[in-house]
Amino acid sequence: MAEISESSNSSKISSPKAEQEEDDFDSNTMRRTKPGLKRLALAFSVLFSFLLGFPLLWKSIEIYRAPLSFKDVDLLFERIKSNPLQFPCNFRAIFVGFDSKTSEELSRLGYSISNRMTGLASKTPQCGTCSGNFSVSVMIDSNSGCVESRHTPNACSHQCGEIRSVDFGANDDTVDDKLESALGDCSGKSYTVVVVNGDTGYKAVIGKYRHAWIVGRFSEEEAVLKISEIFVEVFMKGGNEEGAIHGEFMPVGADGRIVLSYNLLNANPQDWIYDWDFDRIDEDMLSPVVEALRNVANISVESQVLYHTPKSSYSHWDDERGAHIFSVGDLPFFVNSNEWHLDTSIAAGGRSKILHFVVYIPSAKECPLLLQLPDGEISKTNGFISPMWGGVIVWNPPKCLREPESGHPAKHKISSHDLQMINEVFMGQLRQLFGLTSDSLFLGRLGKAIQLTSDKGFTEWELDVLSRQHACFNLHSCATTLGSLSRLVQSLPRMIIMDEIGKQVDFSLEAAKQAENDASLGIFDSSADSSRQARSLAEDAFFHPSIMSVSYYSFEHCFAVYSPFFLPVSLHVILAALKEWKRYKQEKTKYLTWKAKVDTAAS
Amino acid sequence: MELLRRPIFSLLLLLSLPISFPSISLGSAVQGEDGHREEEFTEELLLKPLPDRKVLAHFHFENTAQRTQSYGRHHHLFPKAISQLVKKFAVREMELSFTQGRWNYESWGGFDPISSSNAKPPGVELWATFDVPPDQVDASWKNLTHSLSGLFCASINFLESSATYSAPEWAFQPASGNLRYGTLPREAVCTENLTPWLKLLPCRDKAGISSLMDRPSIYRGFYHSQRLRLRPAKIIADGADSGIVLEQTLTVVLQPNGFRTKSSHSSENKIPPTWAMSSLLGRKIEGRCVLAKSSNVYLQLERGLVAELNALKENQEFVGTTVLNDDLIENPAFEISVKPDWVLKEVGNLPTGSSSLMYGYSIGKSTDSGPFDLHLTWKSPMVWSCPRPPLHASRFLMGSGNERGAIAISLRSTGLNEGLYGSNKDKESCVLPVNVFQVVPWYIKVYFHTIKVFIDEQRKAVPDVIEKIRVSPSEDKVLPGVMEMVLKLPCGVKSAAMTLEFDKGFLHIDEYPPDANQGFDIPSAIITFPNVEAAMHFNQFSSSDKSPLLSRFREKNPVQSYTEVLLVPLTTPDFSMPYNVITITCTVFALYFGSLLNVLRKRASEEERLLRAKGRSSPLSRLLAKLRRKKEVEPQSSTTSSSLFSSKLVVKIILVAAIAICWQYFG
């Protein structure tokens, strides 16, 4: 309104001059007044308030995402990938009965051993070994006193002459214990090989602690070769070829727990019923093992007896052996998952690994049931394992004698001797599931060595190897899981991330860092422990229920909700602003033409 | 198969596993005391002809375990899964039932141990008490529901939400505050629930009485209820719970495939159909489960039937044809194919004259003579009635429409209470207490002040009838409404009714279950008669040492019955509604906003000027001008601009249409 009145006013004001201009004033191309700015300002203020409000709206529809430290995750991933976890190891060679040498000569000897070891160890640094980071010290314990090589980090001195006094001709276990008492109080965990220059025949023994000894008559060069082989193949690699654990053969669950589920299966209780006294096995035989593996996994043990559990494939009668033979080819069909209700344990968490150990007692009509190896031999243990699942032993009742047809079968108990035998096989199976061999002889390239076994099922150097390997595997798995989580989270920008996930990721990263630190300091067990924690936390974060559930609030949904309002309104606002702007420009040119005209007329 | 085969093959080479594992010391190798014998298992089956020509089969399995050091870890007979559950969640007592069909209290009995403890509401019912501090009970309950859900392949996990379970204090069971109770009336029960249940039995369905469970026969029945009950065992005299008893029962009501049709109403038709175990259940018992301590089959004759038989016997004796024994094994009405190993007679204080009879068969013995099969051949017509509860309870809905309604619980006398209290001469002071326990979902908003009680069709003041009441009102989406009350009814009551009004609430769109138009279930109310006990004592026969089934019969449990499940239709929205609402609201707002903006920018004088300039050029503007009753002004010549304007408009419209089409196809 104002503009209209203004224009009318101005037209009145300009009326005195109007006479002369009337003829060349064209209302289509000229105007006498300045174009008004009110509507333009209005249209633009609406447009700008919309533009300003847009970030607010964006903020309001934003979903909650806990900040995840993507950078740290990526760093960890890169670090684990580029330089595999290496542990420092100390090796020590002690020569007994050799001529005395100077310290320099011993250093040279140590240098040649470590050279040889580098040659034996694989070229590329393998994860979880100490191939890249080890030190060798050499010592001679001779009649004229003890000489040590220089540069012996972490040197722990034992009483000179103590090693010499050990009678290496005695029982292996006694020697082992004596060596342990002489060397074991070293604070650092170092592996020792004692070379004894003696007249007795060649003999190499790997003890159940961290020692080995070689007795025989050989030159220094020979000794160097043997020492370095034992260091590398046994203490470093654990006696098996491939050092690292493959993902699909990892016997520990993602939460760092294992449930050992022992099952006694009576295939047909109509024939005989066997029971066992599992409490005793648990207390006497399994608890030391559980304790020994504490750093690698948190193990719990449970047992049950099941009945009416036939195997799912048939055996054939062999007259020669007087037994039913089950050949290897049918072995995949031995486990009858329909009838063997080896339930998953309720006591275990969701991601624990359950290893089933099954004692199968055949029914009377297939009684002496023997497993046949591919070469036609009969399996000595009458058992087999299935990686990641567990192991099966076929136990035949003594003499396969069935009770007279009284209708009611007698109830028996497996004798303690048999139970012990069964448990030994189970221990061997457990060792195999953990990737360790159960041979009593270590066959090296340069001869064989006797391996002593521990009451705990696992010797200390084997536990070290396991700790190293598991620490490596766990860290690797933790880094991969966190890496996938961070990629997933980054690829779905509208996924809700709970605070708890952020916390778990942080804790996991922290535990991983701790594991790496411990590894670099050579504390194997605590490194394995922290890495287990890191892996379990990473898995917890990845499988957090809030990620699994319907957490994806899509952009399409958001668009569908807001577009019915914002699409038409923004059209109006933008068009209004554009039109006003156009009009203002047009009117301004009109005014300018008139002004120019007036100016020319005036001049 | 290929998939299965591959991973196992990879390790077959490990077959030869040399024993290299010596020197594991076995402490004291002496076999200790008979430790595991503390776990005991028994199996029993009860068959009972029902008055309406059907047959009840009640399987009862009981498994007892001691709470030893290794409880929950090492087990011999007791299912490991259950013991781990009990240990992990500190369950003291628990009952879980899966039921299909409705128990007919009128004709299948409502006053005997079987009906009061095995008749269950349709769907799933779960209650449990916990040995934990009161503030942890809810957490334990939630974890328990999830575990059971996995164990039994059922949606028990829906009982997790606090709006579905309640904590009854005294009307359901006299219990401490640690009891939780929940039902899922709509849970469908089928084989997938039975299989895990059978897995808990040591012999599963491979041998023994459980081998009778032929799935098609069981699920063809009129009623099917599978129950799992955990109770503490008080074996040792000091009363401390020394173990746990797992009681698994399966109750089915089956219709024998009678040879006679029920077309005619002749007296011939009154002869109940002849049946055999093999025809009823489709199988015979091949042998006992060798792990069971006892394995028995019972045939029960109800009091009513025995009374009829005795009457028949007296008639016949009067005629003088046969002399019948007291155990009625030989009688003119029916014949059983196998002579029972023992006969038990009900003893004790009996409300009616005659006592019920129980024929026992031990399966261990009968295996020698082939599979066990029991035939019951009826020879003469027989009509009898079953023991009914003092009051027959039913529940129904009143009112119409989607806004409000009323729940009515009606109790009708079955004539029994007169017999029960007949001796009591002082009818005025004689009182029959009735406990009512009712859980109502929160979306049924019950007004508890609207309780009206009618006794013998006379409205009574509430305080006169209700002795004790506890109400916990519902809270939207959080708590269900719970009502526990004790009614004291006069003994001679003919009928009693109670009504409660309610409003139907609205659910959030996310809370509607699939198929919301079907309606919503109100769980069964539980009516308990605390002073009336359904216990049956049988004179113990020496050989039938301690049958768990019979000791359950001896327990003094109050008579309990469940009412019907009610189906309440609620208003169900059109589920696309929210989006429609969003769209229309936004459109209205956008229109308003756009027109406001246009009005703000309008230049009235200029438009008029333009209009004047255009003049008659367009018919529309002329019409508009006419409508505005404006005087037509001679137009100045500007036809060119108007044609230009219209062509611009056309281009714009086409552009918008093109954008719309593009949006449609490429958006």
Select from A269, A347, A373 the Cβ nearest to the Cβ of B290. A269
| B residues 275..314 contacting A (CB < 8 A) | 287, 290-291
Over the stretch A284-295, which tens digit does the pLDDT of each residue have? Answer: 888 888 888 888
pLDDT at A368: 87
Q: Are residues B16 and A387, on separate chains, in Cβ contact within 8 Å?
A: no
Q: How many CA atoms does the CB half-sphere of A358 hold within 13 Å?
A: 30
Pairs across A and B, CB distance < 8 A: 229
Distance from B33 to chain A by nearest Cα, in Å? Answer: 10
Residues contacting B648, CB < 8 A, separation 6+: none
A457: left (phi over 0), alpha (psi -120 to 50) or beta: left
Residue A139's identity, in one-letter code, is M
pLDDT at A410 exceeding the cut of 80:
no
Of B173, B151, B172, B170, the closest CA to residue B228 belongs to B151
| A residues 296..325 contacting B (CB < 8 A) | 300-305, 307-308
Domain definitions of chain B by residue range: 61-258, 271-316+327-382, 393-534
Cα-atom radius of gyration of chain A, to the nearest Å? 41
Torsion of CA B1, B7, B9, B15, to 10 degrees: -130
Select from B25, B70, B287 the Cβ nearest to the Cβ of A455. B25
- Report yes or no: B368 at the A interface, CB cutoff 8 Å: yes
Chain A residues close to B294, C-beta within 8 Å = none
| A residues 378..397 contacting B (CB < 8 A) | 379-381, 383-388
Distance from B46 to chain A by nearest Cα, in Å? Answer: 23
Chain B residues close to A308, C-beta within 8 Å = 203-204, 206-207
3-state secondary structure of A212: strand
Given a contact cutoff of 8 angstroms between Cβ atoms, the answer to whether A296 and A528 are in contact is yes
Given a contact cutoff of 8 angstroms between Cβ atoms, the answer to whether A98 and A53 are in contact is no
pLDDT at B28: 35
Select from A379, A416, A565 the Cβ nearest to the Cβ of B586. A565
| A residues 33..62 contacting B (CB < 8 A) | 39, 42-43, 46
- Report yes or no: B21 at the A interface, CB cutoff 8 Å: yes
Chain B residues close to A388, C-beta within 8 Å = 7
For the ranges A170-174, A500-504, A597-601, B512-516, the lowest mean pLDDT is seen at: A170-174
Average pLDDT for A125-145: 74
CA closest to B149 among chain A residues: A346
| B residues 171..200 contacting A (CB < 8 A) | 199
Distance from B569 to chain A by nearest Cα, in Å? Answer: 29
Q: Are residues B582 and A564, on separate chains, in Cβ contact within 8 Å?
A: yes
Given a contact cutoff of 8 angstroms between Cβ atoms, the answer to whether A353 and A258 are in contact is yes
Integer Cα distance of A400 and A403 in angstroms: 10
- Report yes or no: B601 at the A interface, CB cutoff 8 Å: yes
Over the stretch A329-371, which tens digit does the pLDDT of each residue have? Answer: 888 888 888 888 887 677 666 788 888 999 999 988 888 888 8
CA closest to A47 among chain B residues: B597
- Report yes or no: B593 at the A interface, CB cutoff 8 Å: yes
Q: Are residues B77 and A305, on separate chains, in Cβ contact within 8 Å?
A: yes
Over the stretch B287-306, which tens digit does the pLDDT of each residue have? Answer: 888 888 888 899 998 888 88
pLDDT at A77 exceeding the cut of 80:
yes
Q: Are residues A438 and B17, on separate chains, in Cβ contact within 8 Å?
A: yes
Region B393-534: CATH code: 2.60.40.1170
* Stronger pLDDT, B169 or A446, i.e. the higher one: B169
Domain definitions of chain A by residue range: 27-60+555-602, 89-236, 247-434
Residues contacting B347, CB < 8 A, separation 6+: B355, B537, B538, B539
Chain B residues close to A569, C-beta within 8 Å = 589-590, 593-594
Chain A residues close to B77, C-beta within 8 Å = 305
Integer Cα distance of B164 and A43 in angstroms: 56
* Stronger pLDDT, A150 or A26, i.e. the higher one: A26
If you write DSSP's letter for every residue of B549-614 in order, what string do you get?
HHHHHHS-PEEEEE-PPEEE------TTHHHHHHHHHHHHHHHHHHHHHHHHT--HHHHHHHHHHH
Average pLDDT for A22-45: 80
Select from B12, B16, B80 the Cβ nearest to the Cβ of A380. B16
Residues contacting B618, CB < 8 A, separation 6+: B642, B646
* pLDDT band, very low/low/confident/very high, at A552 (cuts 50, 70, 90): low
* pLDDT band, very low/low/confident/very high, at A10 (cuts 50, 70, 90): very low
Q: Are residues A569 and B594, on separate chains, in Cβ contact within 8 Å?
A: yes
Given a contact cutoff of 8 angstroms between Cβ atoms, the answer to whether B438 and B408 are in contact is no
Given a contact cutoff of 8 angstroms between Cβ atoms, the answer to whether B499 and B183 are in contact is no
Chain A residues close to B20, C-beta within 8 Å = 428, 438-440, 451, 453
Q: Are residues A377 and B16, on separate chains, in Cβ contact within 8 Å?
A: yes
pLDDT at A264: 92
- Report yes or no: B425 at the A interface, CB cutoff 8 Å: no
pLDDT at B447: 92
Over the stretch A257-296, which tens digit does the pLDDT of each residue have? Answer: 888 999 999 988 888 888 888 888 888 888 888 888 888 8
Residues of chain B with pLDDT under 70: 1-37, 175-176, 234-241, 258-269, 316-327, 349-353, 365-369, 416-429, 540-545, 614-622, 624-645, 667
Integer Cα distance of A489 and A502 in angstroms: 11
Given a contact cutoff of 8 angstroms between Cβ atoms, the answer to whether A29 and A590 are in contact is yes
pLDDT mean across residues, chain B:
80
Average pLDDT for A157-167: 67
pLDDT at A185: 59
Distances from the Cα of A211 to the Cαs of A188, A193, A506, A521, B327, in angstroms?
Answer: 14, 6, 40, 21, 83
* pLDDT band, very low/low/confident/very high, at A407 (cuts 50, 70, 90): low
Q: Are residues B21 and A457, on separate chains, in Cβ contact within 8 Å?
A: yes
pLDDT at A404: 57
pLDDT at A1 exceeding the cut of 60:
no
- Report yes or no: B14 at the A interface, CB cutoff 8 Å: yes
- Report yes or no: A207 at the B interface, CB cutoff 8 Å: no
pLDDT at B26: 36
Q: Are residues B15 and A384, on separate chains, in Cβ contact within 8 Å?
A: yes
Select from A3, A416, A453 the Cβ nearest to the Cβ of B22. A453
Given a contact cutoff of 8 angstroms between Cβ atoms, the answer to whether B265 and B125 are in contact is no
Select from A303, A332, A346 the Cβ nearest to the Cβ of B4. A332
If you write DSSP's letter for every residue of A400-411 in order, what string do you get?
GPPPPS-SSPPE
pLDDT at A22: 59
